[in-house]
Structure 1
Amino acid sequence: MKAILMEGSKAVLKEVAIPKLNKGDVLVEMKVCGLCGTDIEKICGQYTASQPILGHEPAGIVVESMSDLVKPGDRVFAHHHVPCYECYYCKRGSPTMCPYYRKTNLDPGGFAELFRVPAWNVERGGILVLPNNVTFEEASFIEPLATVVRSHNRVGLTKEDSVLIVGAGPMGLLHLLKAQETGVNNILISDVSEYRLDFASSLGNVIPINPVKARVEEIVRGNTEGRGADIAIIASGSPQAIISGLNSIRKGGKVLLFGVPYKGTILDYDVSNLLNNEISIVSSNAAVEEDTREALRLISERRLNVSRLITHKFSLEEFNEAVRIAKQGKAIKVVITN
């Protein structure tokens, strides 16, 4: 079968053996797998967490099952990282810090004609059967939307909040859609790309800001009675994005660190501002099964229209072209189909 694997510092399409199943494992035929920014960071050597396995937003059809939980023919989403739910971290509200969380993964990854979902994941709810009204393309958004759901819960976002989203890429736009679904009326979003800002504007109920053309903090304060945003969501890993959010937050506000910083990121920021203004920094890393179930519910109930974020589709054979297009910033969500 065909699969995209990391070979040194390159992503390569290779012929590999079909994964063999052990007790409890499930074999899935990939239909759609989203290309995530973290996949690109792994290819570029910039990702600071996890093993270099590519493809973690897959949806497909079960072709073989060694588990009683799913059967051949089921249409499913599969989660790549699943915690134990029993350790110190899991029992104290930090399941993504579980020492087992990143030890399991899809084999050989989501960008493959067939991939194995390990029994560990299956037994702990890491595979979800899709309702008939959810397409494979929509299901490929379950994992990224789940990370947004978890992050909004961690920061306590409510419809009364004013929100600044820094970064209008696919994840920033998922934050926008989820904030809109929550009922937030005062949403601002910043990005240096006019293409992405225009796309964000097409989703409605948002004030776009290009930091090249205007000072983000001034626009934010001008739309929050001079206070600053209640919550700043940093959907980018760049240090400029983080500082932009810190400078745009109100006293007593919260900054949500969501985008993965590049290796060696250092901020030029006066930390005394955090204490003097009681600014809270909340980080959110990945998602767990309660979040994937909620993401599927939101999609299946049509609370969010995620598929409209897809602008480009490529085959496995076209993977490197997909990466090139995504890196150019001339796409919103890129998906790989099989």
Structure 2
Amino acid sequence: MSESPANSPMTAVVCHAPNDYRVERVERPRPGRNELVIRIAACGICASDCKCYAGAKMFWGGASPWVKAPVIPGHEFFGYVEELGEGAAAHFGVSIGERVIAEQIVPCCKCRYCKSGQYWMCEVHNIFGFQREVADGGMAEYMRIPATAIVHKIPLGISLEDAAIIEPLACAIHTVNRGDIQLDDVVVIAGAGPLGLMMTQVAHLKTPKKLVVVDLVDERLALASEYGADVIINRRKDDAIAIVRSITDQYGCDVYIETTGAPAGVPQGLEMIRKLGRFVEFSVFGEQTSVDWSIIGDRKELDLRGAHLGPYCYPIAIDLLARGLVTSKGIVTHGFSLEEWDEAIEVANSLDSIKVLMKPRHKERH
């Protein structure tokens, strides 16, 4: 006789400390009232996961560390509704077996930001995969979705790889929208990692006058070109600032989107952007960066904008993927089982990959 879900263990990656993530057998979650349990189909490894694994201070340091271990990591997940808690079907509008995704943040629904509709800036700020107070993340066979989570259905026509990039794609859409791209703008996207390549596809749909992508890896720049970049620049080989000035009558770009994850991307953008331009900062840095702030005010009067998460953008991401206007092809490069975590994080931390997915090996279902 098979074990019931109540006492059946599952395989998960568990974060205990920097560089101490273990594949363990843990208790399978059960849903409470208005909660779901989903069977994970895939969970991406984000750049923030890599920085967290490496022990970046922004995650572990300070009086209130962002990570509260032990916790199952993973916020780029999607899966199938496996169990419904009491009232959950009506609460979320879902049924057993449907493909769903929950937004990465679990709003508290009580703070000033949540009450005003700005839930992505929730003061409590529980995000799947970093704190266990609300729920663990998606690097496991099963995952509990709490009642205050924001859940979206995924149409069956969307492939596994495309479904797995909905979370970062929503972030990319929000970031591009923050740039307020106009038809006559020259737009620079600094960084051609997974997010930068998704931003390239989304920015291309905005049809700017020129779309420029800057990176250090030729293979990623070639992908950016396929995705609609008009100009690609390898900063190791060419003077990116000089090239951008040459195509803008020496003024500089109108919009600069920083998604390199490297502190050097910030001063590069401040020098590259024109006066009165729009600088959008998306990256999660592993270390501090410093700049001459007088550039922002006295010299250029820049419009400096941050971009955090993907608020109100999940339905847009799902629609763009369903219509084939954005793709994961070329971005999703590797897939590993949970048991292969050590290899997966090593590959994710290298330039051999772009997006790495964790795919649980579920037992045959009867």
Partner of 2:17: 8
Partner of 1:37: 47
Query: Is residue 58 from structure 1 mapped to residue 77 from structure 2 by the alignment?
Result: yes
Query: Is residue 291 from structure 1 mapped to residue 310 from structure 2 by the alignment?
Result: no
Within 5 Å, which residues of 2 pair with 1:230-245? 230-245=254-269
Give TM-score, length-normalised by structure 2: 0.85
Displacement of 1:281: 1.3
Give 1:139's aligned amino acid. Answer: A
Give 1:333's aligned amino acid. Answer: K
Displacement of 1:292: 1.2
Does the CA-based 8 Å contact 1:165-1:234 persist in structure 2?
A: yes
Partner of 2:219: 195
Displacement of 1:75: 1.1
Tell me how far apart the structure 2 counterparts of residues 302 and 47 of structure 1 sit (CA, whole Å). Answer: 39
Tell me how far apart the structure 1 counterparts of residues 31 and 306 of structure 2 sit (CA, whole Å). Answer: 36
Query: Is residue 329 from structure 1 mapped to residue 357 from structure 2 by the alignment?
Result: no
Partner of 1:19: 29
> Based on CA coordinates, which of the two structures has the bigger radius of gyration?
2
What is the Cα-based RMSD across aligned positions, in Å? Answer: 2.0
Displacement of 1:253: 0.3
Match of 1:306 among 322, 328, 344: 328
Does the CA-based 8 Å contact 1:38-1:47 persist in structure 2?
A: no
Does the CA-based 8 Å contact 2:13-2:22 persist in structure 1?
A: yes
Within 5 Å, which residues of 2 pair with 1:188-227? 188-227=212-251
Tell me how far apart the structure 2 counterparts of residues 239 and 279 of structure 1 sit (CA, whole Å). Answer: 19
Q: Per the alignment, do residues 169 and 248 of structure 1 end up closer, same or farther by CA in structure 2, a change over 3 Å counting?
A: same
Does the CA-based 8 Å contact 1:164-1:232 persist in structure 2?
A: yes
Q: Which moved more, 1:144-153 or 1:19-28?
A: 144-153
Does the CA-based 8 Å contact 2:13-2:21 persist in structure 1?
A: yes
Summarize deviations over 1:47-73 as a string: whole Å, max 9, x none: 625436511111111110110222211
Query: Is residue 258 from structure 1 mapped to residue 282 from structure 2 by the alignment?
Result: yes
Give 1:112's aligned amino acid. Answer: A
Match of 2:138 among 110, 113, 119: 110
Tell me how far apart the structure 1 counterparts of residues 127 and 101 of structure 2 sit (CA, whole Å). Answer: 19
SS in 2 for 1:236: coil
Higher helix share: 1
Tell me how far apart the structure 2 counterparts of residues 110 and 173 of structure 1 sit (CA, whole Å). Answer: 23
Displacement of 1:244: 0.9
Does the CA-based 8 Å contact 1:5-1:108 persist in structure 2?
A: no
Unaligned runs of 5+ in 1: none
SS in 2 for 1:297: helix
Displacement of 1:259: 0.5
Displacement of 1:7: 1.7
Tell me how far apart the structure 2 counterparts of residues 335 and 266 of structure 1 sit (CA, whole Å). Answer: 30
Partner of 2:3: none
Give TM-score, length-normalised by structure 1: 0.91
Tell me how far apart the structure 2 counterparts of residues 155 and 40 of structure 1 sit (CA, whole Å). Answer: 27
Within 5 Å, which residues of 2 pair with 1:169-188? 169-188=193-212
Displacement of 1:85: 5.4
Within 5 Å, which residues of 2 pair with 1:135-154? 135-154=159-178
Tell me how far apart the structure 2 counterparts of residues 292 and 59 of structure 1 sit (CA, whole Å). Answer: 12
SS in 2 for 1:328: coil
Give 1:148's aligned amino acid. Answer: A
Displacement of 1:278: 1.1
Give 2:189's aligned amino acid. Answer: I
Q: How many residues align?
A: 331
Does the CA-based 8 Å contact 2:201-2:228 persist in structure 1?
A: no
Match of 1:271 among 275, 289, 293: 293
Unaligned runs of 5+ in 2: 1-9, 60-65, 361-366
